[in-house]
Amino acid sequence: MRTRLPLSLLGVALALLWLVPLAWAIDTSIKPEGETTRVPVTWIPDVFTLDAYRGVFAAGDLPMWLFNSAIVAGGVTVLTLAAASLAAYGFSRLDFPGKNWLFALVLAGIMVPPQALIVPLFHQMQTLGLVDTYWGMILPQLAAPVMVFILKKFFDGIPREYEQAAELDGASRLRMFWSVVLPMSRPVLAAVGVFTFVTAWNNFLWPFIVVSDPDLMTVPVGLGTVQSSYGLRYAEIMASTVIGGLPLVVVYAFLQRHVIRGVGDAGLKG
């Protein structure tokens, strides 16, 4: 019991230390530009202003990048859930020629580092005419074999009796998948969905390579260009990082438990 108080204080101190960079970014963003470069630094601004945010919104790029991120991350999540759960069901429940061989091929892909494929993948995107398109950003991110593996493992654990009952009612395979297995798999679908969304929302490297049209940039790629376009206007740079980083942090603040479980469950296996 004697160790309880000092360790609690240590925990809180570390938590506050971990908040400093973000707090400093927010603090900078509500100062007038002149005050951001003052020495010594001030934590409490002399003048509180939202000018930096007005400036960022007036420039107009950030809302568009948020929109693009939502399209890409949303598209990747929905399509990954659809394609991976269908495949996982096929591998879990049905027997077809070449199945074991194909599943081994999928498993092998779990070890492949996508970063090592950027060059041939880009070359292929040129051939397919997908450079500078939403599909060019979305499609390669759907090749996530680990999600098939996670979902198959979960489906394997669902007793077959439920489907046999549905079969007695004349349900087709697709029907059994859709109305029996999927509803019973909500926790794992949520985990895979959360993990996929977070990863896709924050993905920098691939969208950065495949998109150069500013109108198609996602938040991580677009923000990479502000350093040069805003020059030394630190308040505006920090305002754009706050807006760009906010969406997932707010979701996390409200749905902490779900996000933790999603990232933990799917990430552990990925």
Partner 1 sequence: MAVDTVRAPVELTAPARRTRSWAGLWFALPFLLIYVVFMIWPILAGLWSSLFNTSLAGGDVEFLGLSNYAEMARDGAVWDSLWNTVWFTILSTPPLVLVGLGMALLAHRARRTGWLLRFSFFMPFLLPVTVVALIWLWIYQSDFGLLNAAVAWFGGDPVAWINDERTAMWAVVICTLWWTVGFNFLLYLAALQGIPRELHEAAAVDGATPAQRLWRITLPLLRRTTGLILVLQLIASLKIFDQVYLLNEGNAGPITRPLIQYVYEQGFTSYRIGYASAISYLLFLIIILVAFAQFKIFPAGRDD
Closest CB to partner 1 among 49 and 93? 93
Is 263 a binding residue for partner 1 by CB under 8 A? The answer is yes
Closest C-alpha to 214, from 141, 139, 132, 140? 132
- Residue 70 φ/ψ, nearest 5 degrees: -65, -45
Closest CB to partner 1 among 24 and 67? 24
Is 84 a binding residue for partner 1 by CB under 8 A? The answer is yes
DSSP label at 79? Answer: H
Is 195 a binding residue for partner 1 by CB under 8 A? The answer is no
Judged by CB under 8 A, the chain residues 106 through 145 that form the site for partner 1 are 106, 109, 111-124, 126, 139-140, 142-143, 145
Is 64 a binding residue for partner 1 by CB under 8 A? The answer is no
Least distance in Å: CB of 54 to partner 1?
Answer: 19
| Structure token pair of residue 245 | 């980083």
Closest C-alpha to 73, from 248, 265, 209? 248
| Structure token pair of residue 122 | 């880009």
Q: What one-character-per-residue DSSP string does 178-214 give?
A: IIIIHHHTHHHHHHHHHHHHHHHHH--HHHHHH---G
Could you say which of 47, 104, 105, 255 contacts partner 1 (CB under 8 A)?
105
DSSP label at 177? Answer: I
Least distance in Å: CB of 61 to partner 1?
Answer: 13
Is 194 a binding residue for partner 1 by CB under 8 A? The answer is no
Judged by CB under 8 A, the chain residues 212 through 231 that form the site for partner 1 are 219-221, 223-224, 226-228
CA distances from 30 to 24, 36, 236, 240 (A): 10, 9, 9, 12
Least distance in Å: CB of 184 to partner 1?
Answer: 17
Least distance in Å: CB of 146 to partner 1?
Answer: 12
Closest CB to partner 1 among 49 and 269? 269
- Residue 41 φ/ψ, nearest 5 degrees: -65, 150
Is 74 a binding residue for partner 1 by CB under 8 A? The answer is no
Q: Report yes or no: 172 and 210 within 8 Å, Cβ to Cβ.
A: no
Is 163 a binding residue for partner 1 by CB under 8 A? The answer is yes
